[in-house]
Structure 1
């Protein structure tokens, strides 16, 4: 450690020097939170590098010293943290280092200075971006990446009027993978955390506890899916070690457990119900204690000497060098005290498990509610119950039990002004300094970020589930389905604070307050309400993180989350997605120029070889061998083809009333479409499906069209919503640097880049400007032997292929 101290004494901080238009720079400073970027030049090691400059951070953008995001022309990024609210500037660096010291991924950091147009901006922390370089360093690769930017993103289910991924921000081409993070949230709801990297989560819990981080698990972190597993990466650890996000210091932090926020994380209960996980968490906390009275005090000394003189020239720093010395000394002392306290923590056994619970009169509250809770496992010292009335901030109370063998109970007096109430159960063992909540995400500021919890309501109308008619679900593509439900009661029904479970494994849809379903109204349950709302005129409720629910049970739960009613969801589920995605989208019938147009609304290519059409008279027309439809593409079959390149339909269609079916090569029915005189086809002889997401079996979803229609072209008003992207090496591997690859994308723009394994951009790879193609490149003799990455980036997402170069080949 002496060598390190001598090094930092003699070293000088790296400097990032930028030039930018002074007026644009001032405008940028004065307009935070608007996503503004301005052009700039980065002067680095005698090179002038074009770049753009933007503000970064959340509430910190309102501080006088800003944090910055520098985007380089070659695709690189430099993230600079001001750490304005941390007077030591080193808390984030220490917190991230502790995760790495435990052996788990966390961004690297270094201290630098920054200047604009020759004027100093002071000392900054350069933090590593979570991107392909970070993946390569930590042994993973490209996959869905979501950043938790709000406590709503703590792997918690949302009400149906809120986006299911609220609080989670997609990063690096991850927008198409929202369904995957929804499936993770649903897995946590069910208590299945097998897809999460357990050791990374437990290490995060331990570090959070050690550094007294109030939101490190429930905000300011990344979830990254790679090879079927979700990884956890920490971020922003400045509000730690006794420092609040407002910049206030709490000297009592060294003897506070720091475990409370663990109970608000959506996966916590499932982990802490496992005795082996609790033992592992204890071990990680002990390792943190060893770091805090081992390496960290010496690191504080090193940073003290490295930064104290540089801070004298920081125009925003508010302390003198002597005061900075004092801040570092206090932090060192705190580390030793905290380490001693951590060694007194022993979490002991696993958490008690809720077996059943009940809330009296939950469908329509009376003067008093009686709540009962039955637990299995270790006997808790006490059981908290969190109560939110009419959506207000939660209040903590205690449950009671009359004897050891009885269940836990709580009585709640209902005021006349109470419309609904929600509860969370929190059993706590004597060895645990915090409760393990059910549901696992609990309540955290329910008034500002409400999350579904068991409860009770004052009914606005009766609820008779038997009058709900469940239609067949509509498959709308790989990541989107819709289930229509109709209220056939003669009066409206109240589903406020109830919930549906459907699919296998089950997804959930929770209703908030004042959700009344009118007589005769059809509403829609879906996996993605934002997408489905664009195509369905009725009310749409989501987002259920489950796959196509055909063949599963639809379960209606009352406000207490107990069973109320169930239905079997019909509809064929034997078709693979590639076949189920082929739908009829435009028809011309009865005019002597009959034709049928098919559309592939899926994300994969469909092989129609030897499929066949059949009408109501059992006439058959076979689709030729080798016929394929790419995603988003059309296939049109004509009774009288306008040319040799067009496909033949071997029978005519009746424009007044007919049925057209499509079967695959094994005789399985893909779809069956019937129409009658009431359908729009009869007004012009041509009709088209209004949206690829609509149920094609309903006449209201088709619209008449004037001759000649749009055969071979997209229907009027259609929007492209499905996307896919793929890149594959097509040449010999390894090669001498000359190689070929094929690519496919369902959207533009498309960009291909060659990187080495350090993340250095080697070159752009020119593409032919089409959605699919083959590309050849020759770098023989110009790049050294090694492994390279072909990175294909499009509006539809991204994909990679590995290339090995051996120059001796």
Structure 2
């Protein structure tokens, strides 16, 4: 093994009876007690499976809640993602880091090697929970946070799931932080997105949404091609001081040239003008549309380039490769892992060509 290559080792111990209970029904969210040793420090935790369709995969993802102590390294909760369908195991982290580089609030993440009851479970991505500690870590004002839990988080009055009028304006969201009265601000946002008349939209929407942050978030979705990114895979943060909503990305493994099933993604998979009602209304405003185009062009000159991204890909893949070879779910696919640098390179080249061809529709 390359002596320079090191990622943290996490040792998870679950009593046999508790492990049997955890496995009895993978769809139950009720956590079970366990111990987690991180770099020599033993912690009492609660652990549960996390995710929706990913629970069916052989390599499980986990949500960890610290019990004793209640907080570890400034967090009450962390997520351990298996990244099972991503042959590179880096797309989520690559995306989160890219969002942060381009000025969008984004979770911190790092690769770790998980051992459960003495058995290697493989390479995981530890992801910061988006909660009050997320705000404290960044010295951000208190506010409310809403998770987009399904496709109804589409900023529309119409359900994305059953194509009928929503029964409530907050449908598709779950309040993670804040008080019940904060739901009013979310409902007010959705209502105004859909009812402000066109000639007042440019002025009025800026009372509810941080437009620059939204356009930057849009741009990174477009660069990474997260198909679900516009109606799912995000959280809303209402800044308590500015009283504006900002948007935080989540679940970006189906990106950078591979779809949710791990299949090769075509460069034109996600259109340059995206989806959802808020995006459509924002791009219907000349000023915002030109601002979005300028952002895309500027970022394609500086950040969304092979020269900027591929060294990051190389560094991540080299750091985890020795551990992928020990991952019981991935070690037989090391040749596929090694080809991912080429897959991501070709994706960036193809996506840039597509975007340059489509810039004219933003005029």
The bucket for the TM-score relative to the shorter chain is: 0.7 to 0.9
- The answer as to 2:253 corresponding to 1:241 is no
Give the Å deviation of 1:110. Answer: 0.8
What does residue 326 of structure 1 align with? Answer: 339
Deviation track 1:644-697 (CA, whole Å, cap 9, x = no partner) reads xxxxxxxxxxxxxxxxxxxxxxxxxxxxxxxxxxxxxxxxxxxxxxxxxxxxxx
Aligned residues: 339
What does residue 59 of structure 2 align with? Answer: 65
Q: Is the 8 A contact 1:279 1:348 kept in 2?
A: no
What does residue 77 of structure 1 align with? Answer: 77
Give the Å deviation of 1:119. Answer: 1.2
Give distance in 2, aligned partners of 1:298 and 1:229.
35
2:36 paired residue among 33, 37, 42 = 42
What does residue 16 of structure 2 align with? Answer: 22
Cα gap change, 1:16 to 1:237, in 2 (>3 Å): same
Alignment of 1:102-141 (within 5 A): 102-141=102-141
Give the Å deviation of 1:139. Answer: 4.1
TM-score, scaled relative to structure 1: 0.40
**Local SS of the residue matching 2:55:** helix
What does residue 201 of structure 2 align with? Answer: none
Contiguous gaps of at least 5 residues in structure 1: 1-7, 350-430, 432-809
1:170 paired residue among 167, 170, 175 = 175
Give distance in 1, aligned partners of 2:108 and 2:155.
26
- The answer as to 2:279 corresponding to 1:268 is yes
Deviation track 1:220-249 (CA, whole Å, cap 9, x = no partner) reads 101111121111111111111232212222
Give distance in 1, aligned partners of 2:228 and 2:3.
35
Cα gap change, 1:330 to 1:45, in 2 (>3 Å): closer
Give the Å deviation of 1:278. Answer: 1.3
Give the Å deviation of 1:197. Answer: 1.0
- The answer as to 2:221 corresponding to 1:208 is yes
TM-score, scaled relative to structure 2: 0.86
Give distance in 1, aligned partners of 2:269 and 2:292.
14
Give distance in 2, aligned partners of 1:339 and 1:222.
27
Greater relative contact order (CA < 8 Å, ≥ 6 in sequence): 2
Deviation track 1:64-119 (CA, whole Å, cap 9, x = no partner) reads 11111110121421211111111111111122222111122111111101111121
Q: Is the 8 A contact 1:95 1:237 kept in 2?
A: yes
Give distance in 2, aligned partners of 1:93 and 1:45.
21
Cα gap change, 1:60 to 1:261, in 2 (>3 Å): farther
Cα gap change, 1:181 to 1:259, in 2 (>3 Å): same
Q: Is the 8 A contact 1:17 1:115 kept in 2?
A: yes
Deviation track 1:707-749 (CA, whole Å, cap 9, x = no partner) reads xxxxxxxxxxxxxxxxxxxxxxxxxxxxxxxxxxxxxxxxxxx
Cα RMSD (Å): 2.2
Q: Is the 8 A contact 1:77 1:129 kept in 2?
A: yes
**Local SS of the residue matching 2:54:** helix
**Local SS of the residue matching 1:328:** helix
What does residue 229 of structure 1 align with? Answer: 244
- Structure showing greater radius of gyration is 1
**Structure in which a larger fraction of residues adopt helix:** 2
Give the Å deviation of 1:214. Answer: 0.7
- The answer as to 2:185 corresponding to 1:180 is yes
Cα gap change, 1:320 to 1:163, in 2 (>3 Å): same
Give distance in 2, aligned partners of 1:261 and 1:66.
35
Give distance in 1, aligned partners of 2:233 and 2:103.
20
Give distance in 1, aligned partners of 2:165 and 2:284.
29
Give the Å deviation of 1:29. Answer: 2.9
Q: Is the 8 A contact 1:132 1:141 kept in 2?
A: no
**Local SS of the residue matching 2:142:** coil
Deviation track 1:265-299 (CA, whole Å, cap 9, x = no partner) reads 12123311222211221122224433232321111
**Local SS of the residue matching 2:205:** coil
Cα gap change, 1:107 to 1:142, in 2 (>3 Å): same
2:307 paired residue among 282, 290, 294 = 294
